[in-house]
Chain A
Amino acid sequence: MYQFNYERPATLADAQALLAKADDPKLLAGGQTLIPTLKQRLAMPSDVIDIGALKELSFIRAEGDAIMIGAGTKHYDVAENADVKKHNPALAALAGMIGDPAVRHMGTLGGSIANNDPAADYPAACLALDAKIHTTKRLIEADEFFKGMFETALQPDEIIKEVTFPHPEKAAYEKFRNPASRYAMVGVFVSRGPWGVRVAVTGAGQNGVFRVKAMEEALAKNWSPDSVASIKVPSTDLLSDLHGSAEYRAHLITVMAKRAVAAS
């Protein structure tokens, strides 16, 4: 690791002030991506601002037709929360599938979506569930938030505070894991709710998470695995690497979409 200044602000306001002041800061939430990245010397921030212990960012509240989750809430706490399990079991299941148990004890919702790894799970949930991302500056719709591989709409001095997930009528997430790393080769989140029907794919896109409009239209007419069985996503913009070709990932998207609809 390169040298950096470690800061542990006591409040979100203090964190915001430190963020504005530092040369080239990085926010640390759970650190399950950032710390391994620092260890590999793939990042060289001047300051690491630790917001992982801020109580004001760690909560789960069910209110009306939605669940509000603080950005600093750990994956384990989302997976085990009674309200999430009751109103949004697909989201609880997704949180329980991230990484391994030790990672789920540290990793956070805000950290995952701010990083926007193309194989991360939470971006698929946000996009498919029409989530609202509340930051220290504004509200960002999930559709506007994910801008490409490791790219988001966040400004350098903006911190995610919470994410609102409206309750779905039906939803499920199916993930085809890389057999070695266990990251999503393809993960498909399907949902039906007040927003209509959404199908979001992670792990496969060259530009990160994306929606499959053709599948959404077919499922809106008839919510059944057969509706998506013959819909192929073009492989043009899909990832191709030693783990699988773009064509293979395109095939997996259809298979995972079918399974997700069947499981919903």
Chain B
Amino acid sequence: MTVVSMTVNGKPAQADVEDRTLLVNFIREELGLTGTHVGCDTSQCGACVIHVNGRAVKACAMLAGQAEGADIVTVEGLAKNGELHPVQKAFREHHGLQCGFCTPGMMMTAVDLIRRKPQLDEHTVREELEGNLCRCTGYHNIVKAILAASEDMR
């Protein structure tokens, strides 16, 4: 067992966990933040994407111990003071979700993408979503939502 501590959505978080604990399980099971999803067992689907020290990573391809001391943002940390993040607003406005399972990962990837590349075009958005799968195949509106959000945030 190892005690791991980190900051999650601005608040300190700490737990004594098995060494093999994945970061995604730490977040879901120890902290009860179930917005971060587990959609596959192979680290391919991207439903678990969160931000670790400002960068989008897959929480299922990382041990909790690797995040010791890190600053973490999950989908629950996007909205501020009851106000949805522009990416969340755009997903709602443009119907960027169907079943909603991939949505947290899609939005966390989108926020990271807009930060890295403020000037986006459709081709770039589609390329950048390589690591996020939507089994409803609702990519068209996801892309629309991300483009709209990037306009909004400019």
Interface contact tally, CB-CB below 8 A: 81
- Please tell me which one of the listed residues B19, B43, B112 contacts residue A35 in the complex, with CB atoms under 8 A apart: B43
Is A53 touching B128 in the complex (CB atoms < 8 A)?
A: no
Q: Which residues of B contact A39 (CB under 8 A)?
A: 22, 41-43, 60
Chain B binding surface SS class: mixed
Question: Chain B residues with Cβ under 8 A from A100's Cβ?
Answer: 46, 130-132
Q: How far is the CA of A81 from the CA of B113 in the complex (A)?
A: 17
Number of interface residues of B (CB under 8 A): 28
CB pair A4 B130 closer than 8 Å? no
Question: Which of A80-107 touch B at CB < 8 Å?
Answer: 99-103, 105-106
Cβ-closest chain A residue relative to B23: A35
**Interface check B85, CB cutoff 8 A:** no
Residues on A with C-beta less than 8 A from B42 are 36, 39-40
Q: In the assembled complex, how far is the CB of residue A3 from the closest CB belonging to chain B, in whole angstroms? A: 6
Residues of A close to B128: CB separation below 8 A: 101
Kindly identify, within residues 40 to 55 of chain A, every residue whose CB is under 8 Å from any CB belonging to chain B.
40, 48, 50, 52-53
- Give the residues in chain B near A53, CB-CB below 8 Å: 66
A8 on the B face (CB < 8 A): yes
Also in contact, A105 and B57, with CB within 8 A (given A3-B20, A36-B43, A38-B20): yes
Task: Enumerate chain A residues within 8 angstroms of B65, measured Cβ to Cβ.
Answer: 6, 8, 50
Q: List 11 A-B contacts (CB under 8 A).
A: A3-B19, A6-B63, A8-B65, A40-B42, A100-B46, A100-B130, A100-B131, A101-B109, A102-B58, A102-B131, A103-B58
Interface residues of B, Cβ cutoff 8 Å to A: 2, 18-20, 22, 41-43, 46, 49, 55-58, 60-63, 65-66, 68, 109, 112-113, 128, 130-132
